[in-house]
Homo-oligomer: A and B are copies of this chain.
Amino acid sequence: MSNTTDEDAFELSATRRTLPIALLRARELLMERFRPILSERGITEQQWRVMRVLHETGEADASEIAEKACILAPSLSRILKTLEAKGLITLHRDPEDGRRTLSRPTEASAALIREITPESVDIYADVEAKFGREKLARLLDDLDALVGALEDRG
């Protein structure tokens, strides 16, 4: 449908240079590097995010984990069951509010984090080196700003 140079340039920007796809593409390429060190240990990216959140909080209910790990409640519900089955977390009912489910990381989880973190740091450092430390910091700032702008409903 588009054949002239001008049209191609226009069309290219239409889908390729669109924020949602640009974000997706960048993320895909990033995860290509991180995923192997997780799959070697038999855990998924989402399971890893949950473990990290719990490592930082020590204990959290599903809502808090969902917000911090950026995972929707239905997915999280399944992931927590999986992690419990793997012996990486324990699940309890909140004694002060019977609706809430509290998760706590196990020692196995802590060990896994100690094992994976160094490799993860190396990969991140490599990305930082290739892309530029300042540019990466600015990118993170801009992304935070975008989130801030989008969170204000109106």
Q: Interface residues, chain A, CB within 8 Å of chain B?
A: 1-2, 11, 14-34, 45, 49, 52-53, 55-58, 68-70, 124, 127, 130-131, 135-136, 138-140, 142-147, 149-152
Q: Are B20 and A56 in contact (CB under 8 A)?
A: no
Q: Are A70 and B24 in contact (CB under 8 A)?
A: yes
* A143 CA to B135 CA, complexed, in Å: 10
Given the known inter-chain contacts A20-B31, A26-B23, A27-B27, please indicate yes or no for A15 contacting B52, CB distance below 8 A.
Answer: yes
Instruction: Kindly list chain B residues whose C-beta atoms are within 8 Å of the C-beta of A124.
Output: 18-19
Given the known inter-chain contacts A11-B56, A30-B23, please indicate yes or no for A138 contacting B142, CB distance below 8 A.
Answer: yes
Name the distance in Å between A45's Cβ and chain B's nearest Cβ: 8
Q: Is the interface of A mostly helix, strand, loop or mixed?
A: helix
* A139 CA to B142 CA, complexed, in Å: 7
In this complex, what residue of B is CB-closest to A17? B140
Instruction: Kindly list chain B residues whose C-beta atoms are within 8 Å of the C-beta of A136.
Output: 19
Instruction: Kindly list chain B residues whose C-beta atoms are within 8 Å of the C-beta of A34.
Output: 20
Q: Which 7 A-B pairs have the closest CB atoms?
A: A29-B150, A1-B58, A22-B143, A23-B27, A11-B56, A130-B149, A131-B149
Q: Are B131 and A22 in contact (CB under 8 A)?
A: no
Q: Are A52 and B14 in contact (CB under 8 A)?
A: yes
* A19 CA to B139 CA, complexed, in Å: 9
Give the residue of B1, B24, B58 whose beta carbon is less than 8 angstroms from that of A27: B24
